[in-house]
Amino acid sequence: MLLDYIKGIVDDYEDTDDSNLLESEEYQSVVKERLNEMILKINTLIKMVNMGSDLAKHFIPTMATSGVLMGLSVMSFSYLTEVICDAIYNIRWLSFNLSNRKTILISLINAQNPLKLRFTGGIACNYEPGMKIYKNLYSFAAVMGRLSEVRQIK
């Protein structure tokens, strides 16, 4: 909306020659009024962004902590899953009867499924993309924290 306003500051005079507009007091008055309005709108936008940033800075430590804990949980769970899969693969199944061999085969088939994190009902993420998401969120939180520190210094 603001972008459209800025682009439309001189739209009413699009067909008029620039040299005529330079000398037109009406045009200069309209442009001055619109520029002042634009400055007010930009200042309002800046105030809103600052309010949002001030509000968000209180949540950054919480978000960063929960992100770190989630990352640690995922890494621990992934490690545990690998250890369990290795243990299943190393079972001495040659001494099992047919029923037990089928059971261990089912376990091996289930162990082949990759670890997935479910963020919502429809979105699943494997370990590597999940860690990339986690790293990006952590980077975002760190940058926001740094910005709030810079703002406090000013």
Q: What is the residue extent of each domain of the chain?
A: 1-56, 58-154
CA atoms within 13 A on the CB side of 58: 5
Please report the pLDDT score of residue 97 as a whole number.
Answer: 86
Q: How far apart are CA 16 and CA 19, in angstroms?
A: 9
Q: Closest by alpha carbon to 118, among 126, 110, 108, 106? A: 126
Please, where are the H alpha helices in 2-126?
2-7, 18-23, 25-57, 60-89, 98-111
Give 57 or 97, the one with higher predicted confidence.
97
For 54-88, the pLDDT digits (tens) are 777 778 788 778 878 877 877 777 777 778 778 88
